[in-house]
Amino acid sequence: MNLPEPFRLLLFVLGTMAFVGANAAYLVWVERKGAARFQRRPGPTEVGPAGLLQPIADALKLMSKQLIVPPGVDSILFRLAPILVMMPAMMCLATIPFSEALAARNINVALVMVFAFSSINVMAIMLGGWASRNKYAIISAARIVSQNIAYEIPMMLVVITLVMMTGTMNLREIVDQQAGAIWHWNLFRLDENPLMPVTFVIFYICMLAETNRAPFDMAEAESELVAGAFTEYAGMGFGVYFMAEYANIVVGCALATLLFLGGWQSPIGVWSGIPWFLLKMYALVFSVIWVRWTFPRTQFYSLLNLSWKILIPVSLATLVLTAIMMKIL
Amino acid sequence: MTPTLTEIAKAFSRVLGVTLEPGFSAEPGGGASANSGITATTTSSSSSAPSPATTAPPATQASTGTAVPAGLTTPAAPTAGMIPSSPIVFTEHASRGWHLDVTVTAPQVLDTARLMDRLGFCLDMVTGVDWMAQQAMEVVYDYLHFDSSVRVVVRTRVPREAAEVPTISEIFPGANWHERETHEFLGIRFAGHPNLTPLLLPEDATFHPLRKDFVA
Amino acid sequence: MILQKDIERLSAGSNETFVLNLGPQHPATHGVLRVKLTMDGEFITRAEPVPGYIHRMHEKMGENRTWAQFLPNTSRIDYLSAMAYTHAYVAAVERAAKIEVPARAEYIRVITSELNRVSSHLVWFGAFLLDLGGFTPLLYAFDDREKILDLLEGLTGSRLTYCYYRFGGVCNDIDAGFVEGARAFVTYMRPRLLMYRELVTDNVILRKRLIGIGFIDRDMCRRYGASGAVLRGAGVNYDVRRAEPYSVYPQFNFDIPVFPEGDCMARYLVRMEEIAQSLRIIEQALDGLPEGPFLAKGVPRMMKPPAGDYCFAVEAARGRFVVRVVSEGKDIPYRLRLRTPSFSNLSLFEEASRGMMLPDALALMGSLDLVIPDIDR
């Protein structure tokens, strides 16, 4: 397709926004239905067939609610934080190739850009918690910062390992390298690093922690911190946080798919294309939901212990191992 | 090391300065029926703090309330109601719900609490009863033992208008809340209590709803 | 693991503390309990529970109505364990008035009390896991509990606040349908307990959150008068059903689960094991259910127990519940004292939670199994 550049840009901005919006809305539905199935209950059934219009009803409800700005909050930052939370998720999606042809931008340093923007997400939640002038929100903000510092490091180490193996930060090239069949996927490139599945597990755990999902939902921790950083937010302010959470899950799962599971490459070597990408990505999203409704929350300090005492040493070890193997073999 | 009921009664008699009938014994447990009604005799002069019962007339039932002169002032004053003729009474567990019923003066509450602590007892509850007809406030301490399942009731009476009992919250921290509750409901002061503010009532409550003359 | 010296340094050395009001509306307090926390970061330096938000003065109500009129109140103190509470009150009055209860009535009381204990423990199980951030077990537990509630609703007409026991027996007899339903529940519940063990108890995150957290030892229990699973989780073999046997409990063969560790896991395991033991009791009681009247003959409509004070203790789901009635021989009680287990169990929270982190303190609070109306009365 050879569209004029501004038109192409506009199309992708709209596309990304629609994708994020639809995902956020319908992942809520999937989560509610899925949770209901795990808990032997029907879940939403009233609005539309099988409750399919429930997200729309929810959105209407949230939008019709008053945006309460409590007295004493830093009103500029308080309003800014939800926007800042949503924006990086959208920006990350702009770099993610859905297939050979479908990508907003094919950037050579896409990987750097994704991680740069996903860090802003943390800052924004912290900002919201801090601006709320609520003790629960401040505890939550403090937790988020230490949690994300702890988990960015092993995630980065894993990604560096991967970049060493692939020799590129271009997501499309990374996926292209995994063409062929399932054993070409980075997950199974055991000849370069026999610990590759371990690095995938580390990446997955870090992704759960970065997106503040159970069992690492320290930021929200509804039985401890009421709603954490989002306690003071009402209406769509809360709704945007909610959407951003799902957008971040989508970004995280999409990255995991691209980096480890061969992106849009088919596991049997033929018929590669966008359905494979979506299938793998949503399977990961489903597993994230599954984990949430299965496990209790971890303690905060064991969460940090897990990162600093287990994940970082192991990911460092895989990094060194990869370096040695690349040098020797 | 679980004390038997007899040992507990003897320990009480030492603390209270009363002597038990020689050769008596009691068996702990729910079915101590044979021992019900055994009472201790009291010395009249040797104890420094005579228990109220030593000078009390034979007890009558509370419902009669005849023997009560109004306007009593001293804690040791004789009152009617359910004060037994002797400070240490064995009761049948199946009939009342406890094994040993000890009546003491207000200052002796501390000694008995220390004794109970030493014997490894646990404070079950603190109850206040307003005997308005007798112008008295009764504070009842229930103790239980984890191993021997003996239950001991220690009760004391103080004049209604100047109801003050020493706190045992230093010995049993669990008494802290029970005493706060008894204070707010009945207006009984617990001298030395660290924080005698209302617990269940609103923090600015000045009324005592369980007093019999309380009008809502 | 956090080192003890770190906790001491953090909680003693710093003066940068702030007060966090946990409640009266907070998801973890399961009701309107307020805990005033003095925090140093996430460490609790002092936790002061402030109960009383739903205080209803049941003790005063008791002084203003006849002995029988107070019956419905007893089930509204601990709404999850209403049967045991009614049992204590009814039995205290029976002790005062020297009423002999027919054997069948006692069996029915045991069956319904134990069913109620199972349902109460199931609610605790779900709510405790909810405190720990696991939502799903709650729904499973409520699913099981629903079966008990249906059974008891068929028998008593209410689902939660039963007023089923009467002085001298029970309100109406159990029928074959109830017996069959109770048996079916026992056979249904046993595999469920195995499933909970595999799915929940053995979960590594849960074990990390409970083992070694929230120590309450024997001496602390003694000083604060803690009872129930808190006490048995501290290694004390004390259960009112054995220590002060009442009703027909001596006739049944059941174990008192005791775990000596004194941490949250011990209390968790005690309650889970108690469900199994209650099922054993129910089964034996259904097997040995005697024929005969379910209500004693000749109990006066207007009770006038002889003067005196009387205590009756039962093992409710949360621990030792004592009713003291002081009678003047009139048709209304002179004084009614309710010693509730949650009250004493919560009073040790201040000491036990010192130096803990907020999530651990909430795990501790959950493991105490608090029912707020039971504290506030």
- What is the ipTM, given to two decimal places? 0.84
Cβ–Cβ contact C130 with A under 8 A: yes
Q: What is the mean pLDDT of residues C127-134?
A: 86
What tokens appear for A9 in the block? 């840009």
**B&C contacts, CB < 8 Å:** 120
CB contact under 8 A, A40 and C143: yes
For B29, phi and psi rounded to 5 degrees? 115, 165
Cα(C185)–Cα(B211) distance, rounded to whole angstroms?
47
Q: What is the pLDDT of residue B110?
A: 87
CB contact under 8 A, B62 and C307: yes
Question: How confident is the model over C181-224, as pLDDT tens digits?
Answer: 999 999 999 999 998 988 888 888 888 888 888 888 888 888 89
A222 at C interface, C-beta within 8 A: yes
Domain definitions of chain A by residue range: 69-328
Instruction: Average the pLDDT over C233-238 and give the result.
Output: 88
Name the token pair of C191: 């595999």
Considering only alpha carbons, which residue of chain A is nearest residue C138? A39
Rounded Cα distance, C364 and C76, in Å = 25
pLDDT digits (tens, 9 = 90+) for A313-327: 988 888 888 888 888
The lowest-confidence range among A22-26, A220-224, C348-352 is A220-224
Q: What does the pLDDT read at residue B53?
A: 38
Chains in contact with C via at least 3 Cβ–Cβ pairs below 8 Å: A, B
Which residue would you say has higher pLDDT here, C325 or A229? C325
Q: Of the ranges B83-92, C20-29, C315-324, which one carries the lowest mean pLDDT score?
A: B83-92
Name the one residue in this structure whose structure tokens are 């020797």. Answer: A328
Task: Please report, to the nearest 10 degrees, the dihedral formed by the alpha carbons of residues B186, B191, B196, B198 taken in order.
Answer: 0
Average pLDDT over residues A92-113: 78
**Identity of the residue in B97, B149, B200 whose CB atom sits nearest the CB atom of C243:** B149
CB proximity C38 to A under 8 Å = no
Q: Are C287 and C205 in contact (CB under 8 A)?
A: no
Residue C122 confidence class, pLDDT cut points 50, 70, 90: very high
Give the whole-angstrom CA distance, residue C286 versus residue C180: 9
Q: Tens digit of pLDDT for each residue in B93-149?
A: 777 878 888 888 888 888 888 888 888 888 888 988 888 888 888 899 999 888 887
How many Cβ contacts (< 8 angstroms) between chains A and C?
Answer: 77
Q: pLDDT tier at C5 (50, 70, 90 boundaries)?
A: low
B95: chain C residues, CB-CB within 8 Å: 95
How far is the C-alpha of C58 from the C-alpha of C61, rounded, in Å? 5
- Assess A295–C contact: CB distance below 8 Å, yes or no: yes
Q: Residue B122: which residues within 8 A CB-CB, separation 6 or more?
A: B143, B144, B145, B146, B172, B174, C221, C222, C223, C225
- Return all residues near A316 (Cβ < 8 A) that are at least 6 apart: A157
Question: In angstroms, what CA-CA distances link B207 with B37, B165, B214, C51, C377?
Answer: 40, 19, 8, 18, 18
Q: What is the pLDDT of residue C118?
A: 92
How confident is the prediction for chain A on average, in pLDDT? 83
Contacts of C143 in chain A (CB under 8 A): 40
Q: How many angstroms separate the CA atoms of B69 and A70, rounded?
A: 63
Which class would CATH give C58-376? mainly alpha
Average pLDDT, chain C: 87
* Interchain pair B200, C376: CB under 8 A: yes
| Residue ranges covered by each domain of chain C | 4-50, 58-376
pLDDT of A99: 76
Is the Cβ pair B125, C95 closer than 8 Å? no
Give CA–CA dist C228/B146, Å, rounded.
12
CB-CB neighbors (< 8 A) of C357 in chain A: 299-301
Q: In whole angstroms, how large is the CA radius of gyration of chain B?
A: 17
Answer yes or no: is pLDDT of A143 > 80: yes
What pLDDT does residue C121 have? 92
pLDDT for A72: 80
Q: A226 in contact with C at a CB cutoff of 8 Å?
A: yes
CB atoms within 10 A of CB C197: 12
Which of C133, C136, C360 is opposite residue A38, by nearest beta carbon?
C136
C46: helix, strand or coil: strand
Would you say A307 and A150 are in contact if contact means Cβ atoms under 8 Å apart?
A: yes
CB-based contact, C143 to chain A, within 8 Å: yes
Q: Inter-chain contact C308–B82, Cβ cutoff 8 Å?
A: yes
For residue C90, pLDDT over 50 is answered with: yes
| Residue A70, burial from CB neighbour count under 10 angstroms (0-12, 13-18, 19+) | middle
Closest Cβ opposite residue B173 in set C59, C224, C320: C224
CA distance C377 to C89: 14
User: Are A39 and C140 in contact (CB < 8 Å)?
Assistant: yes
Residues C225, B172: C-beta atoms closer than 8 Å: yes
- Tell me the C-alpha distance between C2 and C42, whole Å: 12
Listed residue (A99, A106, A82, A110) closest to A24, CA to CA: A82
Average pLDDT on A81-97 reads: 83
Q: Compute the average pLDDT of residues A53-76.
A: 85
Given a cut of 50, whether residue A261 has pLDDT beyond it is yes
For C229, the 3-state DSSP assignment is helix
The residues on B that touch C, with CB distances below 8 Å, are 30, 61-63, 82, 93-98, 120-125, 127, 129-130, 140, 142, 144, 146-147, 149, 151, 153, 172-174, 176-177, 185, 198-202, 209-210
B89, B101 Cβ separation under 8 angstroms: yes
Q: Does residue B39 carry a pLDDT above 80?
A: no
Chain A residues within 8 A of C359 when measuring between CB atoms: 221, 224, 297, 299-300
Give me the pLDDT at residue A292, please.
Answer: 84
